[in-house]
Structure formats: C-alpha cells, structure tokens
Structure 1
Amino acid sequence: MAKQTSAYQVAYERLRDYILNGELPRGEKVTEEKWAERLGVSRTPIREAIRKLEQEGLIKEKRVVNPSETDLRHIFQVRILLEGFATRCAATYMNEATLQQMHNCIETAKNGGTEEIMEANEEFHNIIIQASNNPVMIDTIDRMQSIIYLFRRTVVYYKRPFLIDEHEQIYQAILAHDADRAEQLMKEHLQADLEFCLHLLKQ
C-alpha cells in the first residue's frame, strides 16, 4: 500500500509539474498507458493522479486544460469575490508582522528575477487569503491554486503592466485600514489580470 501511494504521489507531482511548466502543452491528451510507461509505474497510480489533476482543474476530459474565455471568466469571478472579501478582512485585522511580510513581497518583486516575482506574487496573495481567517474560503482557494498558478505564470512571464504597482496600492490601503478601498483595489487588480489573459487568448 505504501509503495502504491508513493507511486501515485510521484505520478501526480510529475504530471502536475509538466503541465505547470508548459512541457505538457494545453490541449494535449493524457493517456494512462503512455504515462505509466514513461514514469515506470502501473496504470493505477496514473489513473489516480489524473483524477486529482481533474479535481484541480488542470486536466479536463483526459486533456491538459485549455481554458476558454468562459472558463477564464468563471474562475476569475470566484477569485474576485473571495479575494476581494479577504482583502477587506486584511485591512481590518492584519497585524504589523504580517504587514511587513507583505511589504517584503513587494520589494522582492520590484528587484527580483522572474521566478522570484512568481514566488513573491503567490505569497502576497496567500497572505491576504489567510487574513480572512475563514477556513472554508482558504480551502476553496487552496483547491484552485494549480489553475491559479497557470494564470499567475501568464501575467508574470508576459510582463503585465503595473502588476507590482497595484500590489503596492493594495498594501497601502491595507496599511491605512481602508477596507473599502483595499477590497476595490483587489477586485480591479484581478479584473486586470483577467483582461490581460483574455487578450493573450485572443491573439
């Protein structure tokens, strides 16, 4: 049983990483036979890995997800609602130590390379989500993290304008405990992410 679990974990992590780094392109079919042979495991752990990746939104109908315009809008609608509310909570309750962590994320993103910007971007948003102190909300966003990563990679690698400036504005609103402005800025920030991704999709 332990060996089976290990094989499943390896299969899941390898497939997930191939999708997230673009080695498995969007729309490509993922077959149990091919990946069992490639990873040197039986079909069962591959089947389980595919099932988990389907739950995370990275595989759809046995193919690597290739989000349509409608898919993008639906995903971002959920993010805008949840992260907007989480940002309102952050402006109300966030302590000094956590505010400093947010500030550090912004400074890292201003001065870092692409991978550092990716990590700082992710941490910035996660800090705000955790500030909601709502375990249901946190779990909901957590289950979306893989698909969110794809969009985060798009806005960072294709250098969406004003990305870090908007983080700075959100941080300043939270620092000032201006809940209304903080929530609105986060919603506008995510809407800009959506529009940028939609623009690339149409090219």
Structure 2
Amino acid sequence: MYGSERSRSASHQSYEMLRDKILNGELQGGTKIVEEKIAAELGVSRTPIRESIRKLEYEGLIVNKRVVKPTEKDLRNMFQVRILLEGYSAQCAASYIKEKELEELLACVEIGRNGEVEEIMKANERFHEIIVQSSNNPVMIDIIDRMQSTIYLFRKTVVFYNRPHLIDEHEQIYEAIKERDGQKAEQLMKSHLQADLEFCLHLIG
C-alpha cells in the first residue's frame, strides 16, 4: 500500500472509531477531544486524528474540540430542517419510488414491530434513508447525509426510550407513499418528525 493510501486508510479507520465512541456514548457530550490522548488510545499518529476531527466537525459531532452536547435550540433547528426536507422527500417518494423500495419500506415497518433494539435502529434509519433517496434530489440527499451522525444520536433516544406510535406512524407514511398520495405522505412525515422532536425535548427538559 502506498503512503497516501495508508494515510487515508488510517484516517478513515480513526474517523470510524472516534465517531463510534461518540455515538455509543463512550465519549459523552461536552468531553474535550485531546489529539495526543486519542492518538495513543487508537494507536495512530496525530495526523489521521486531526483529519478525523475535521470530518466530525463537518458532521456536527465535534464543536470547538468538544463532543457536541446539543441544546434545545440545536435540537429545534435540526428538526426544522429535517421536517422541511424529509417532508418534501416523502412527497417526492410518492411519485418516484419503485416497487422494490416499497417492499423494503414495508420490511422496515415489520422489523420495527418485531425486531431487537439494534435491528429496529437500523430499520428506522433505512426507512428514512429510502424515502430521502427516492426524492431524486442529490443536493437534498447530500444535506441530510451530512446530518446523519447527529440524527443517529436522537434516533437512538426515540428507539431506546420506546416512543409511542413510532412504528404506527411509519406504517401510515408507507401506506400514503404506496397509494401515491404525495400530500398525505408529506403531512404524515412532518407530523412524525414533530412528534420525535417533542419526545426528545420532553426527555431533556
């Protein structure tokens, strides 16, 4: 492996390990990120750690060298963007989604009802991802993709604390998309995300 490829590989591995430590709660909100300490823990030089931190800052998981600790305002701001973009994505999906993706949406709903916590988390993420991808709008897909790590933190909250009616709402959104009713799908998605926001606010309040 050439030097630049090795460096890229170390940087990517460091990024994934650091991101996972944040997402699984090992590095909690407010924790100061010290390059030397993280490099020693992961067994790499400081250069890939510096690159990893830059990427995690871009994704919103690290702010001012500290693990993000979202405030109520941060939460509201992020959900406002999600409500607008994912609501519109649901409307588009009703027009553009293919049969294969419809079947996968239904499978996500079924896993949501019967799966283990980790399976439900993945199915929940995939449900939203399919709808966003079906928007056929690469700019919108990219914006939401950049938010995914932060979204994961909140998704973990609503799944682990078992938000009521979560899967029922997914099923209603699926039905509206299947019926090709874009307006209904958009409204249901917006209401669904608003309920997620209110649930998270209640937990941190």
Place the TM-score, normalised by the shorter chain, in its bin: over 0.9
Structure 2 counterpart of 1:133, from 136, 139, 164:
136
In the alignment, is residue 47 of structure 1 matched against residue 50 of structure 2? yes
Residue equivalent to 2:117: 114
Partner Cα distance (1:37, 1:120) in 2: 35
Opposite residue 160 of structure 1, the aligned amino acid is: R
Alignment partner of 1:86: what SS?
helix
Q: What amino acid sits opposite 1:155 in the alignment? A: V
Partner of 1:57, secondary structure, is coil
1:77 alignment counterpart: 80
Residue 192 (structure 1) aligns with: 195
Out of 5, 12, 17, the position equivalent to 1:14 is 17
Offset, 1:95: 2.4
CA distance in 2 between counterparts of 1:177 and 1:5 reads 44
1:139 Cα deviation (Å)?
A: 0.9
Q: Distance in 2 between matches of 1:142 and 1:194?
A: 19
1:31-85 per-position Cα deviation (integer Å, ceiling 9, x unaligned): 1011111112111111111111000010111111000011001111111110000
3-state SS, counterpart of residue 23 of structure 1: coil
How many aligned positions are there? Answer: 202
The aligned residue for residue 93 of structure 1 is 96
Q: Does 1:146 align with 2:149?
A: yes
Match of 1:177, SS state, is coil
What amino acid is the match of 1:116?
A: E
**1:93 to partner: Cα distance:** 2.2
Q: Which one-letter code corresponds to 2:115 in the other structure?
A: G
Shift of 1:174: 1.0
Task: Give the superposed CA RMSD.
Answer: 0.9
Structure 1 spans left out of the alignment, 5+ residues: none
The one-letter code matched in structure 1 to 2:172 is Q
Superposed displacement of residue 97, structure 1: 2.0
Whole-angstrom distance in 2 between the partners of 1:116 and 1:43: 35
Paired position in structure 2 for 1:66: 69
State, as a whole percentage, how many aligned pairs show the same letter. 66
Shift in Å, 1:116: 0.8
5+ residue gaps, structure 2 = none
